[in-house]
Structure 1
């Protein structure tokens, strides 16, 4: 496994007129699997009734768009499902582990993936008799239906100042990118229309979300703009002692 992973490389092959191929060969299985899962998920989301491209064409288009739209060179967190017992994780044995979508991998490689600097461990509770999964942690990329609804109701509109597109027609995005340490919770998610979502991913734009929901956008020139979700009602003042009703 170490020998093959050390031989990872990117190759470009020129084809017939107007086409070429790019391939990551012998890449780390956890990153390749997570990359393919993300590409496939976004391709399938685009496969609506009016879409004429095949899934293979959509996957190729999505992969190239992601490559061209990213900043490149940064370490990204990956989301894969690695099945290993506690003794293997603690190096008390060398039983193989299983990586979903790939198969068995050596114990040493499984421990390397599980303890990497960008790994997020999720709690998985199993039934001690049947081994069936009973519960798992919730720190994952996509928000739950309840969290999705909460953020859209809170924000009401696209959070870029001056944009009034309804939040229900917007994307939800992490202010701090999930792959760079962001979390999928109400303190890190905002509603952005597709145009402003793409703008956010351009270099040197910074988005910071405060605990009260105030979003501060810093442009590449250093200018800052604040956006606060409008309250559902006007703030109510506390009554003075003279205005308080008498006690019962």
Structure 2
């Protein structure tokens, strides 16, 4: 369900926006360790409308407040699903940036367009790097300007692993030391790995899924066929049959959720 109870507040009396945060140093890989993986269910037939509005109004306006828009995507397997990732330097910075944005002039000006397009916006994971340095690094390349068109080649694949225990109770280290090299050898480079953020949601007006035992990792492929080929290559190996598959069966509580994500025209992650 949509959860924006505060969005009916009048703009009058809302504090002015904070001073924009300083620019992000291109070589600072320690920034933005907290991310939100946001999956929105859009009203039937309205996903492209939502993406056009989002990429026109809600990219630079959030980044001016210290957030970083890591990527925006169409879910290839669900025509109603719009997925996006935003990042924050810290949980403290998250609370301030979200308050400044949702009570600020840009969202207040355009919420009347955005809210009717949303069927459900409660599928949100609040995540932190699974180990130091496992998060997304600084962006490479330049974001295309507003109004850019075209469909970038390639896919980002996000895998949400549901676990019996929290990832820091053994699985994160196993993934880092054993699984990631095996995936890379099969053609699935590991771009970033995240576990649950343990601090409470400090902007409760936006719902997030917390207290779940999971690990989320991201890879890049040229196509769904390339992803399937890499999976077959891995599963044909003796190490998969004799070691990796039994270990995964022991760690996993249920089958992972695999998101096949096609970058939108302005997505930096592609």
TM over 0.5: no
Q: TM-score range by the shorter chain?
A: under 0.3
**Which has a greater percent of strand?**
2
Superposition TM-score, scaled by structure 1 size: 0.23
Higher relative contact order (CA 8 A, sep 6+): 2
Greater Cα radius of gyration, structure 1 or 2? 1
